[in-house]
Amino acid sequence: MLWSLFKILLFVALVVALAFGAQWLLAVSGEVLVTFNGAEYVLPPLVVVLGLLVAMLALWILFKLAGLLVATLRFINGDDTAIGRYFDRNRERKGYEALSDSLVALASGEAREATTKAQKAEKYLNKPEITTLVVAQAAEAAGETDRAREAMKELVRHDRTRFVGVRGLMRQKLEEGDTVTAMKLAEKAFALKPRHVEMQDTLLRMQAKDGNWDGARKVLTAKVKSGSLPKDVYKRREAVLSMADARDQLAQGNTDKARAEALEANRLSPELVPAAVLAARMHIESGDKRRAAKVLKAAWQTKHHPDLAAAFADIEPGETPDARIKRFQPFLKLDPAAPEAKMLEAELHLAAEDFPAARRALGTLYETHPSARSLSLMAAIERGEGGSEAVVRGWLAKALGASRGPQWVCENCGTVHGQWLPVCTNCETFDALSWTEPRAGTVPTTALASDMLPLLIGTPDPVAPEVEARPVASDEPEVEIVTERDVDPDVVGTTRDVSEPVTLPAGDSPPAPQDEVPTTAGTSRM
């Protein structure tokens, strides 16, 4: 506001000064005598002043025309001139307009229109680090793979866009299934930008899938240094890598290296069940049973996994069932209310043929948290106490349709795995498996029969007549009777595949010895 007022006042003052100057020139007495070419001209002062002004204006115009002529000659010669800059600005304006139209078309989903506009912008701007990037994205969105590949190769040639080009080529190779080339491109992109989070995750996933544990460790170190990974998560994933490396070294026969990696994995993440089990078995082999028990107890406090109990049983493999129950008491008291602890104690009592104690240990778990294992334990208890075959089969029928309990489940895609793995077999996510109960419907019911623990088994009578199986009605549950020879004595809580199962309806009873007490597959080592 003040500046506008100042300009107005300045203009008024200038007009007043010119008016006073013209009036003064008119009032001045005298004449100006100009002699030119032998002739004399008498001019008043005002005319002389106006003539001088016109002469100066004409001279200024003459100089400008001369400058324009020189600029034209330089433009024709190819030099940078005002004329050239004018055309450059015009070309740049058109190029940026085409580029903005290309970006708008790309955001609107009009890939072909975006490609056309981007090529027009590339022609006007001559800045491939900007326009080629848009061309590549538009061609990729339009499904023109070859054009997108050529554009990305062009991006690789420029320092500013080299990372973008390498990353784009890597994604194309992944889509084509060329994992070898994609791995090399990912390593190149990681070298260009080691702090790029997406590239870190991509390379880590690829290296973990390929079993390149040393390379994965370098990426993990870069992630924690860049601040994109918390230290507690870093320690756990480092433990996962050590555990995976220990398995590979053990498979190759490098026992010392496997031992070192297993102990390191357990040190970094004591709650990682596979690492705790492997470290405990390493301590058992070296004769350090006290440290093995300490490792397993530390893991049991956070994760109640049957493999931990199996490893704890292996500390004293030749002990009697009663001695084993006594030795397990400190282990069980760490969390006696846990479902796994109750089922473990019930199995220990079943192995000692103390069926009332097994019932007391199991409590009401079959009601509060019915699972195939808890219901199968109830079937074993009923059979051990002399219950009717109909009651036993009723428990088994319930177990067939019950939940399998906690499993190794991928937190990313929900895939259930039979054993722990560092990488999910479905979505290839690294360190995504957790010991938890899968969502309903994830595990098919038909898979429960072979995995129920403990399955009722009995010693077959060599003189008993062979049972003939009759067709099963559609509304009658099927039960597999597993003989003792089908049970793997070296694996707690698992059974071998049944080679010749006998399928019976719920109303029939298989031949069972009269003088023998059944045992359970889940307690063959307890």
Judged on CB neighbours under 10 Å (0-12, 13-18, 19+), 94 is middle
Q: In this structure, are residues 375 and 388 in contact, taking their beta carbons and an 8 Å threshold?
A: no
- 241-275 pLDDT tens trace: 999 999 999 999 999 999 999 999 999 999 999 99
Which of 316, 305, 242, 252 lies closest to 279, judged by CA?
Answer: 242
- 389-422 pLDDT tens trace: 999 999 999 999 888 889 999 998 889 998 999 9
Question: What b/e readout covers 251-260, taking b as 16+ CB neighbours within 10 angstroms?
Answer: eeeeeeebbb
- What is the 3-class SS of 409-427, one letter each residue? EECCCCCEECCCCCECCCC
Which of 319, 354, 356, 348 lies closest to 331, judged by CA?
Answer: 348
The mean per-residue pLDDT over the stretch 319-323 comes to: 93
79: Cβ contacts below 8 Å, ≥ 6 apart? none
Higher pLDDT pick, 346 / 131: 346
Q: What's the pLDDT score for residue 2?
A: 81
Q: What's the pLDDT score for residue 247?
A: 92
| Mean pLDDT of all residues belonging to the chain | 79
- What is the 3-class SS of 171-235, one letter each residue? HHHHHHCCHHHHHHHHHHHHHHCCCCHHHHHHHHHHHHHHCCHHHHHHHHHHHHHHCCCCHHHHH
CA–CA distance from 515 to each of 216, 386, 459, 461, 522 (Å)?
A: 59, 11, 10, 11, 22
Q: Does domain 230-315 have CATH number 1.10.287?
A: no
Judged on CB neighbours under 10 Å (0-12, 13-18, 19+), 391 is middle
For tokens 């009592």, the residue is 349
Please tell me the least confidently modeled range out of 77-86, 198-207, 292-301, 391-400.
77-86
Residue 17 has pLDDT above 90, yes or no: no
Q: What's the pLDDT score for residue 86?
A: 67
SS3 384: helix
Of the chain, the percentage scoring pLDDT greater than 90 comes to: 41
CA–CA distance from 426 to each of 290, 309, 431, 432 (Å)?
A: 39, 29, 13, 11
CA–CA distance from 174 to each of 133, 152, 157, 164 (Å)?
A: 20, 15, 22, 15
Which of 304, 306, 305, 309 lies closest to 293, judged by CA?
Answer: 309
Give the H or E element holding residue 39: strand 39-43
Which segment, 15-29, 210-224, 427-441, is predicted with the most confidence on average? 210-224
Tell me the pLDDT band of 364, cut-offs 50, 70 and 90.
very high
d(CA 346, CA 341) in angstroms, rounded, equals 9
Quickly count: other Cβ atoms within 10 Å of residue 102's Cβ. 26
Residue 503 has pLDDT above 80, yes or no: no
Judged on CB neighbours under 10 Å (0-12, 13-18, 19+), 162 is middle
Tell me the pLDDT band of 445, cut-offs 50, 70 and 90.
very low
Q: What's the pLDDT score for residue 453?
A: 39
Judged on CB neighbours under 10 Å (0-12, 13-18, 19+), 439 is exposed
Residue 80 has pLDDT above 80, yes or no: no
Residue 520 β-bridge partners? 456
Judged on CB neighbours under 10 Å (0-12, 13-18, 19+), 188 is middle
Please tell me the least confidently modeled range out of 72-86, 285-299, 338-352, 488-502.
488-502
Higher pLDDT pick, 15 / 444: 15
Q: What's the pLDDT score for residue 513?
A: 37
What pTM was computed for the model? Answer: 0.65
Tell me the pLDDT band of 160, cut-offs 50, 70 and 90.
confident
Of the chain, the percentage scoring pLDDT greater than 70 comes to: 79
Quote the tokens at residue 428. 């290839």
Q: What's the pLDDT score for residue 474?
A: 37
Quote the tokens at residue 402. 């019950």
Direct distance between the N- and C-terminal alpha carbons of the chain, in angstroms, rounded to an integer: 95
The widest CA-to-CA distance across the chain, in whole angstroms, is: 159
The mean per-residue pLDDT over the stretch 301-320 comes to: 92
Judged on CB neighbours under 10 Å (0-12, 13-18, 19+), 450 is middle
CA–CA distance from 433 to each of 221, 224, 279, 412 (Å)?
A: 22, 21, 20, 9
Strand bridging mode 32-36 / 456-457: unpaired
The helix, strand and coil proportions of the chain, stated in percent and rounded to the nearest 5, come to 60, 5, 30
Residue 113 has pLDDT above 70, yes or no: yes
DSSP assignments along 236-289, one per residue: HHHHHHHHHHHHHHHHTT-HHHHHHHHHHHHHH-TT-HHHHHHHHHHHHHTT-H
Half-sphere exposure of 307 (CA within 13 A, CB side): 21
- 30-46 pLDDT tens trace: 677 777 777 777 777 77
In this structure, the dihedral spanned by the alpha carbons of residues 377, 382, 388 and 393, taken in order and rounded to 10 degrees, is -10
Residue 385 has pLDDT above 60, yes or no: yes
CA-angle at 146, arms to 142 and 152, nearest 5°: 90
SS3 152: helix
Q: In this structure, are residues 194 and 222 in contact, taking their beta carbons and an 8 Å threshold?
A: yes
d(CA 317, CA 104) in angstroms, rounded, equals 72
d(CA 222, CA 228) in angstroms, rounded, equals 9
Please tell me the least confidently modeled range out of 181-185, 277-281, 492-496.
492-496
Q: What's the pLDDT score for residue 85?
A: 65
Q: What's the pLDDT score for residue 136?
A: 84
Domain parsing of the chain, residue ranges: 29-69, 230-315
- What is the 3-class SS of 289-312, one letter each residue? HHHHHHHHHHHHCCCCCHHHHHHH
Tell me the pLDDT band of 308, cut-offs 50, 70 and 90.
very high
Quote the tokens at residue 302. 């956070």
Q: What's the pLDDT score for residue 467?
A: 34
